[in-house]
Amino acid sequence: MSKQQNILIIGAGLCGSLLALRLGQRGYNVSVYEMRPDLRKVDISAGRSINLAFSNRGNKAMKLVGLEDKVKALCIPMNGRMIHDEHGNTFQSNYSGREHEYINSISRGELNALLLDEAEKHKNVNIHFNKKCKSVDFEKTTALFKDYNSKDEFVEDADIIIATDGAGSAMRKSYYLGKKFLFSFSQAYLTHGYKELSILPKENGDYKIHKNALHIWPRGSFMLIALPNLDGSFTVTLFLSYDEGEYNFNNLTTEDKVLEFFQNQFPDALAVMPNLLEDFFENPTAPLGTIKCSPWHYQGNTLLMGDAAHAIVPFYGQGMNASFEDVVEFDKVLDQNLGDWETTFKAYENTRKKDTDAIADLAIDNFHEMKGHVNHAIFQEKRKLEMALEKEFPNAYSSKYSLVTFNEAIGYKEAMLKGRAQDKAIINMLSDKEIDIKGNLKDILDKVKTETEAILEDDRIAGLNQ
Amino acid sequence: MSKQQNILIIGAGLCGSLLALRLGQRGYNVSVYEMRPDLRKVDISAGRSINLAFSNRGNKAMKLVGLEDKVKALCIPMNGRMIHDEHGNTFQSNYSGREHEYINSISRGELNALLLDEAEKHKNVNIHFNKKCKSVDFEKTTALFKDYNSKDEFVEDADIIIATDGAGSAMRKSYYLGKKFLFSFSQAYLTHGYKELSILPKENGDYKIHKNALHIWPRGSFMLIALPNLDGSFTVTLFLSYDEGEYNFNNLTTEDKVLEFFQNQFPDALAVMPNLLEDFFENPTAPLGTIKCSPWHYQGNTLLMGDAAHAIVPFYGQGMNASFEDVVEFDKVLDQNLGDWETTFKAYENTRKKDTDAIADLAIDNFHEMKGHVNHAIFQEKRKLEMALEKEFPNAYSSKYSLVTFNEAIGYKEAMLKGRAQDKAIINMLSDKEIDIKGNLKDILDKVKTETEAILEDDRIAGLNQ
């Protein structure tokens, strides 16, 4: 594990370029191979999410590599969800009762470019584009690449290989197909897919709808969302079933039908999307999958990180944040100087996997919450109560959303267990009229804390919290 | 879906031969292709579980096809678990407080042979052996086979194909590799593997240890179990980690070490296993995996059933029972005459998958219970209490084990939800001293029922029971 070791990173996306930067800062010899062209020279955004939610866990990583200020300049704060109902009415539901807690919309391309620039400032970091990884021989610690320009295939050798090549990881596929060890693996698709659309800026460059919010049009079994971009536009995403319900991706095949769907369901959005039909029929429909696997490493030779190890659905806005946090956690394990890579990889997976499993499950829960529950009376009452508690007792109360998104000092698993118990406590007490939003807030806080602790304790005794 | 339709079944194991029999009884033209030789002519048991737990859900299927009495003749009742502690002390823990509720040990080979014999009595059922399925073209509804004798490959066509080819299903692999539709899939391995051993009969043919029990030697992180065979022997299975703990499969490589392990941990078992070393080094070590997937069907062309759709770990004794219940549930859907195969397959998966997911999770829970909890004071107190409740109130109380194993009128999912809530209620009330095993049983029953319903209701309101 000496600094002269050669580390090969597969994939120079958000996770790979951050990892290259951090390992470069630590003095390792780092070679990165990326299948796409250099996004600083070619526009390759078509069809992919062009903006993402960036929050505290991601920022923790930016602090680690000294980029907090540069990244802040790319961020558009979103203080809450702006809910749009069927009649075009809107109301904002903040993410936290504490004013300094909000999430940000950030451009995937701009952020990736910044990380590549910073990584390349280290002369011990070399990044190669247009080199697609075809497979990894994890026993020999070599990777097979194909050069997109020359069409040549070549093999690269390294002391260790870390694959950050995303949800479709070539190295994970080699683990699966190799059958050299027991590899637990799951891919789980939602019945819904997604399609990206857009709200373009006004002619004067202004935003057509409120800039500082994550807009949601929840409709029970489907929804539309929109996140702002720095150029005055919004990236809009439609989440819809492939084949169920009156309108679905399989039957939205004509311009008339698409217009009818938006006219019926999202009239206020349609009014600011004159380019809807063009977007709808030009952009692909993509699936929503969760990937989990284990082990992430093969002995001390190879390691999966980021989406390659744990791809999640986008509904908690944590995909990028979780991958960035991977690098922070890996860096902490490196600080422990465990002596060899196998021990290091094992320690990293032991501390990290429980948390990436948790955010995967939380993201699926939030899918149901966003498309449906945000509209339900009892959910809205709970949110109102939690906002009031966070505002009144900023140091004593955090909702599940806050625990996951803004409390970067605890892991996702702890946030999930505590957050779910709190949700259960509040919803049951509201439903049983044991608490009332008009009651004394200090009494409510005490009741929520007591009931939450009782739920956690009952689960612990029954062995349900492992 | 007329009776003249040709149905191709891949695999003539327990599920496939039962399915062939039932579809034969219903009048379909059934062709079955099995990769192994005919087990009625060749002994192919080596290394596979040679006995299995047979209980009510399996028996429901035997009733459906009119084989209840013939199967009963193959059964050895096991009334409970016989626990063997480290010092060789034993105590029996019955499976139910109701005397007529017990599970059975049955020979896989004998039962399979019976089902094959009965299926072949129908002249519309044809079974072909030594024909290995290599892949399925689910769009064309054809399957590619290789004949083990002639080495020829050939393609078979059918109106529908049902794959009952077990955990390593060739058709499921074709679904996965085909990438023609979104196929959710998971394979999850335990850190433990298993190895089969044996306790041979006495010279006079008698059983060396108590016949009518499932013997367990629980040791916290590993265990040994034994099930009786009709010939006076027991099939013994060692469940042990591959690489953790002082003794594991990776380091049990010498005769001395294996003997030392058994001498330390299972002295009473070792005393009746003079053939231990031979068994240990001749028999393979096999992994323990859970497989889930969805969808099970491709349009109206193909369907996965049994282990091919949902392989589970063996710790609830429900693997075969679940596969047999698949056939009962599929038969019920056929009775509905839904008009076409796609609607039929979809209806079957909609009613069935929630239950096979549940038994998969229950089986993993039971792994931890069997190797550890059965030895814990609070667990033993709970079991004692539940036995007393079942005995005193045979119509009003069933433990989780009874709900899963003996209440075949409800599905696994319902059994799991109710059983887990009951467990949580009892363990928490015992731990809080709200109930005491010496108290009035009717009071305890009322408290358990009230608390269980409260737990289920709280979970329902919080949306946790989906």
Minimum-distance CB partner of A424 among B185, B187, B462: B462
Pairwise CB contact (< 8 Å): B462 & A189: no
* B48-96 pLDDT per residue, tens: 458 999 999 999 999 999 999 999 999 999 999 999 998 999 999 899 9
Minimum-distance CB partner of B428 among A183, A289, A458: A458
Minimum-distance CB partner of A184 among B187, B427, B458: B187
Same-domain check for residues B449 and B408: yes
pLDDT at residue A45 in the model? 59
The answer as to whether A157 is a domain residue is yes
pLDDT at residue B465 in the model? 53
Same-domain check for residues A206 and A68: no
Minimum-distance CB partner of B184 among A188, A427, A462: A188
Pairwise CB contact (< 8 Å): B185 & A182: no
- Give the nearest chain B residue to A429 (CA atoms): B458
**Is A73 an 8 Å CB contact of chain B?**
no
* B156-207 pLDDT per residue, tens: 999 999 999 999 999 999 999 999 999 999 999 999 999 999 999 999 999 9
- Give the nearest chain B residue to A464 (CA atoms): B424
Give the model's confidence band at B274: pLDDT under 50 very low, under 70 low, under 90 confident, else very high.
very high
Average pLDDT score, chain B: 94
Same-domain check for residues A364 and A316: yes
Pairwise CB contact (< 8 Å): B423 & A186: no
The answer as to whether B1 is a domain residue is no
Residue type, B201: P
- Give the nearest chain A residue to B189 (CA atoms): A184
Contact residues, chain B, for A342 at CB < 8 Å:
none
3-state secondary structure chain B: CCCCCEEEEECCCHHHHHHHHHHHHCCCEEEEECCCCCCCCCCCCCCCCCEEEECHHHHHHHHHCCCHHHHHCCCEEECEEEEECCCCCEEEEECCCCCCCCEEEEEHHHHHHHHHHHHHCCCCEEEECCEEEEEEECCCCEEEEEECCCCCEEEEECCEEEECCCCCCHHHHHHHHHCCCCCEEEEEEEEEEEEEEEECCCCCCCCCCCCCCEEEEECCCCEEEEEECCCCCEEEEEEEECCCCCCCCCCCCCHHHHHHHHHHHCHHHHHCCCCHHHHHHHCCEEEEEEEEEECCEECCCEEECHHHCCCCCHHHCCHHHHHHHHHHHHHHHHHCCCCCHHHHHHHHHHHHHHHHHHHHHHHHHHHHHHHCHHHCHHHHHHHHHHHHHHHHCCCCCCCHHHHHHCCCCCCHHHHHHHHHHHHHHHHHHHHCCCCCCCCCHHHHHHHHHHHHHHHHHHHHHCCCCC
Interface of B with A in 371-430 (CB under 8 A): 423-424, 427-428
Q: What is the mean pLDDT of residues B361-381?
A: 83
* B303-313 pLDDT per residue, tens: 999 999 999 99
* A107-148 pLDDT per residue, tens: 999 999 999 999 999 999 999 999 999 999 999 999 999 999
Contact residues, chain A, for B289 at CB < 8 Å:
182
Minimum-distance CB partner of B428 among A184, A289, A461: A461
Average pLDDT score, chain A: 94
Question: Could you say which of B351, B368, B385 is where a domain stops?
Answer: B368
Contact residues, chain A, for B374 at CB < 8 Å:
none
Residue A398 scores a pLDDT above 80: yes
pLDDT at residue B3 in the model? 66
Minimum-distance CB partner of A424 among B182, B189, B458: B458
The answer as to whether B228 is a domain residue is yes
**Is B464 an 8 Å CB contact of chain A?**
yes
pLDDT at residue A466 in the model? 47
Same-domain check for residues B410 and B346: no
Contact residues, chain A, for B186 at CB < 8 Å:
184-188, 292
Residue B100 scores a pLDDT above 50: yes
pLDDT at residue B452 in the model? 97
Q: What is the mean pLDDT of residues B418-431?
A: 94
Domain region containing B449: 376-461
What A142-151 contacts at long range (C-beta under 8 Å, 24+ apart), as own/partner pairs, is A143/A8, A143/A10, A143/A33, A143/A171, A145/A33, A148/A35, A148/A37
Say which CATH number the domain at B140 has. Answer: 3.50.50.60
Same-domain check for residues B139 and B203: no
pLDDT at residue A278 in the model? 97
The answer as to whether A97 is a domain residue is no
Q: What is the mean pLDDT of residues A389-395?
A: 96
pLDDT at residue A371 in the model? 76
The answer as to whether A435 is a domain residue is yes
Query: CA of A141 to nearest chain B CA: how many angstroms apart?
Result: 23
pLDDT at residue B116 in the model? 98
pLDDT at residue B466 in the model? 47
Same-domain check for residues A431 and A400: yes
Contact residues, chain B, for A428 at CB < 8 Å:
458, 461-462
Quick one: angle between helices A412-431 and A441-461, nearest 10? 120
DSSP 8-state assignment for residue A146:
E
Give the model's confidence band at A464: pLDDT under 50 very low, under 70 low, under 90 confident, else very high.
low
- Give the nearest chain B residue to A420 (CA atoms): B462
* A29-50 pLDDT per residue, tens: 999 999 999 999 987 654 445 8
pLDDT at residue B376 in the model? 76
Pairwise CB contact (< 8 Å): A428 & B182: no
pLDDT at residue B45 in the model? 59
Tokens representing A179?
Answer: 């059958």
**Is A182 an 8 Å CB contact of chain B?**
yes
pLDDT at residue A3 in the model? 66
The answer as to whether A89 is a domain residue is no
pLDDT at residue A129 in the model? 97
* A34/B82 Cα distance (integer angstroms): 59
Minimum-distance CB partner of B182 among A184, A287, A464: A287
Same-domain check for residues A39 and A118: yes
Number of domains in chain A: 3
Count CB neighbours of A32 within 10 A. 28
* A228/A207 Cα distance (integer angstroms): 8
Tokens representing A228?
Answer: 């702002």
Pairwise CB contact (< 8 Å): B188 & A186: yes
Same-domain check for residues A204 and A162: no
Same-domain check for residues B386 and B317: no
Minimum-distance CB partner of A184 among B189, B423, B458: B189
End-to-end CA distance of chain B: 33
Interface test with A, best of B428, B434, B435 (most A CBs within 10 A): B428
Contact in structure between B374 and B218 (CB atoms under 8 Å): yes
Query: CA of B341 to nearest chain A CA: how many angstroms apart?
Result: 18
Q: What is the mean pLDDT of residues A445-458?
A: 95
Interface of B with A in 282-311 (CB under 8 A): 287, 289, 292
DSSP 3-state of A157: strand
Tokens representing A221?
Answer: 């079994």
Contact residues, chain A, for B431 at CB < 8 Å:
461
Question: Could you say which of B287, B309, B329 is where a domain stops?
Answer: B287
Residue type, B379: F
**Is B188 an 8 Å CB contact of chain A?**
yes
**Is A453 an 8 Å CB contact of chain B?**
no
ipTM of the complex: 0.87
Contact residues, chain B, for A462 at CB < 8 Å:
423-424, 427-428
Same-domain check for residues B65 and B142: yes
Residue B47 scores a pLDDT above 50: no
The answer as to whether A345 is a domain residue is yes
Interface test with A, best of B176, B187, B313, B353 (most A CBs within 10 A): B187
Q: What is the mean pLDDT of residues A319-332?
A: 98
Same-domain check for residues A258 and A294: no
Same-domain check for residues A199 and A118: no
pLDDT at residue A389 in the model? 97
* A195-230 pLDDT per residue, tens: 999 999 999 999 999 999 999 999 989 999 999 999
Query: CA of A139 to nearest chain B CA: how many angstroms apart?
Result: 19
Residue B410 scores a pLDDT above 60: yes
Interface test with A, best of B172, B181, B186 (most A CBs within 10 A): B186
The answer as to whether B205 is a domain residue is yes
Pairwise CB contact (< 8 Å): B186 & A182: no
Question: Could you say which of A368, A387, A420 is where a domain stops?
Answer: A368
Contact in structure between B120 and B31 (CB atoms under 8 Å): no
Phi, psi dihedrals of residue B328, rounded to the nearest 5°: -65, -45
- Give the nearest chain A residue to B294 (CA atoms): A188
